[in-house]
Structure 1
Amino acid sequence: MVWIIIMLITLLLIGSIVQFIRIRHERRQHFSMELFYTLTVVYIVVMIGFGLVYFVLASEGMVILRDEWLQVDSIVDRLAHAIYFSGVTLMTVGYGDITPIGVGRIIALIEALIGCVLPAAFFVQLFHRK
């Protein structure tokens, strides 16, 4: 039952996004699918890149996150935790379940700054194209 509700909400969200794009296109607004896809790909690349940085540093024995999230479990679990933390940091969500310590704070700060600047840079690019 829960999966059905999740599927319905997902379909509604996808339908809303499609409708938004369609309305923007009909009004001849300056919405660019190319820039949207580029922004999405850049976010994914940055998220995975920083996730790999966290993973490699933790694999070398550096304590990056509190509670040793990246020091236990299998390699796949550690990589998944690193990418999850990277995504939460990049999107500046900050759930609070993972806390960076030491040099991890500096890396997370740089990643959060990139996460804030990326959308602004793409919006400037979008309006600069006029």
Structure 2
Amino acid sequence: MITIIISTLSLALIGMSLRQIFHSLEFEHKIFSVQLFVSVMMLYTIVMVGFGIIYAALILQGVEVYKADVPFIQGYWIHDMIRSVYFSGVTLFTVGYGDLTPVGIGKWIAIIEAMVGYTLPAALVAKVWLKHKEER
């Protein structure tokens, strides 16, 4: 039950962040600004940590989300959280180092996260370009 609540809150935060960045691209009348760059970095951080929280919540409930080439030493929940955020970052940016591999439900969550990470830059560039084109 707690996993569902945490996952829902994380997905809501991610959704609101995505909506906010696309809704507020009218920072300055430039095609690129420091404020836009910082906003995009914060958006990626929120998405990465949000999915990391989902992975960690599932792991804490006993659901195997990813496996490692080198077995984990079971420790505190913070280790699972750090590892989950790392896995989330590698998935979001479609790096795929291969040291962690999604399994079970983690495969489907990783696919969704990779789609967000893959399409977000294209969508942001298109939005900024269209906004710049309208201003001309």
Match of 1:92 among 91, 94, 105: 94
Q: Where do 4+ consecutive residues of structure 1 move more than 6 Å?
A: none
**Partners of 1:66 and 1:100 within 8 A in 2:** yes
Post-superposition offset of 1:117: 0.9
**For the residues of structure 1 that align with 2:131 and 2:93, how far apart are their CA atoms?**
26
1:75 to 74, 77, 82: 77
Report the Cα distance in structure 1 between the residues aligned to 2:121 and 2:37, rounded to whole angstroms. 10
The whole-number CA distance in structure 2 between the counterparts of 1:32 and 1:128 is: 16
TM-score (norm 1): 0.72
Superposition TM-score, scaled by structure 2 size: 0.69
Q: Percentage identity across aligned positions?
A: 40
Matches within 5 A, 1:16-55: 30-55=31-56
Quick one: which amino acid aligns to residue 118 of structure 1? L
In the alignment, structure 2 segments of 5+ residues that lack a partner are 1-29
> Conserved in 1, the CA contact under 8 Å of 2:60 and 2:77?
no
- 1:19: which partner in 2? none
**What is the CA–CA distance in structure 1 between the aligned matches of 2:105 and 2:113, rounded to whole Å?**
13
Which structure dedicates a bigger proportion of its chain to strand?
2
CA RMSD of aligned residues (A): 1.9
Q: Which runs of 5+ in 1 are unaligned?
A: 1-28
From the two aligned structures, give the one with the greater helix fraction: 1
Q: How many residues are aligned here?
A: 102
